[in-house]
Structure 1
Amino acid sequence: MHEAVRPLLEKLNARPMRKLGKSRRELFEQVEKATLRALPARPYQLAFWKKARVNIDYHVELEGHWYSVPYTLVGKSVDVRHTEACVEVFLAGRRMASHVRSLEKGRFTTQPEHMPASHRQHAEWTPSRLIRWAEGVGPSCAKLVEELMTKRPHPQQGFRSALGVLRLAEERRYGKQRVEKACARALRHRAVGYKSVVAILQHHLEDTDETAADKGPLPEHENVRGAHYYH
């Protein structure tokens, strides 16, 4: 079909138009040809956008893979532009990070310059390294970090929460001593998670006395009915 149309197209382009008195070919040569630009060096790439929130470990998630952004963006809402080859992260229209696209699910792509100074020596994260890092806070922190990774199908899935707990120990308002106590309380209550540790710290529960003996017996009162009431 294309071979049959080609000579007809040439004939149409060479035929003068009634109103202009010139053919399409003549107009192209005189007007349009001089304004043509060269084709781009690379073909057009289709791009997609999504909204994301920067997690506690200063990474954003895209199709099961995690990409780093500057750690100062933790908690902020960003725009992620992704093509087959590239992932870019924007904040208020400004590009904050760019990565080569990865299709490995459950893995991290991290640029060292995005990390706090205290994290850079642990750039190659593995479960054993994170646990050793947590031992610098205390045995309870190390135990909690270990459980964060062992209770998941893949240890990498616990990296985010583990890094979040370790970041709490670096913050001036909490510090290692309070975080260690908060981890100990979280372990006693089997509330093993980053959010649990944060809640304990925010409500200053890490030093709360939990022993029933210290609380004393329940007071005598007519509204305290006792177990026999429910039989």
Structure 2
Amino acid sequence: MDNLWLTLGLALLPALGNFCGGLLAELSRTTPRRLNLALHGASGLVIAIVAVEIMPRVLESLSAWAIAASFALGGVAYIGIEQLVDRLQKPEQGAASGRTAMWMIYIAVSIDLFSDGLLIGAGSAVATSVALILAAGQVLADFPEGYATIADMKSKGVSRSKRLLLSASFVVPVLLAASLAYFLLRNQPEFFKLAALTFTAGLLMVAAVEEMLSEAHESKEDTRSSILAFVGGFVLFVLVSAGLEAWMTPS
């Protein structure tokens, strides 16, 4: 039970990073340009999560067919989520379409936080040090996502109280995923743990490419700064993740 509480405590770190990013957006002036940069940076970070944290782990143990099937199921699941949101919103005008895009950004971030919880919960099944490295790395990735989410909500006219409530609600998917991973994956064969991570990778890639980058392009025309924000997000996550792993590994 102590390991469960430790896992949940570590899972709170990504949600905290996301919330702090949202607070920065609340306390500062948000512009379409800043939103564009934040979304590009967040996209680079999300893709780095898949490329650096998830795929190297699954490539070592899963077959190509298992990876392809799990990844495809994750992508298809995201399409289903998008269709569900479209039906609930029923956009008929430009403003409504903008609200749908806002909710898809919210869901994309929720999926990313869900994957953070899944990574941390699965990591805790291996070793506490692994879960700690994953949790610390996700904090950095979720900060620009929190900023971008709140900035996007402000641009859509969502009230401050609702923005803060939605930002705080991001704690739910990360804790839920960490709990599920802890109870369902802890005593399972390695195959199921890695297949779940690959499924999450499919969700994340669609969220980053189809939703975050699309919303970034709609908010403001891309510039060289946008490209640098994307590359910087990827590079920063790689360096921090590698540094934390080196720091935690005994010499």
TM range (shorter): under 0.3
Higher strand residue share:
1
Q: Which has the larger radius of gyration?
A: 1
Q: When you count helix as a share of all residues, which structure comes out higher?
A: 2
Q: Which protein has greater RCO, CA pairs closer than 8 Å, 6+ apart?
A: 2
TM-score normalised by structure 2 residue count? 0.24
Q: TM-score, normalised by structure 1?
A: 0.26
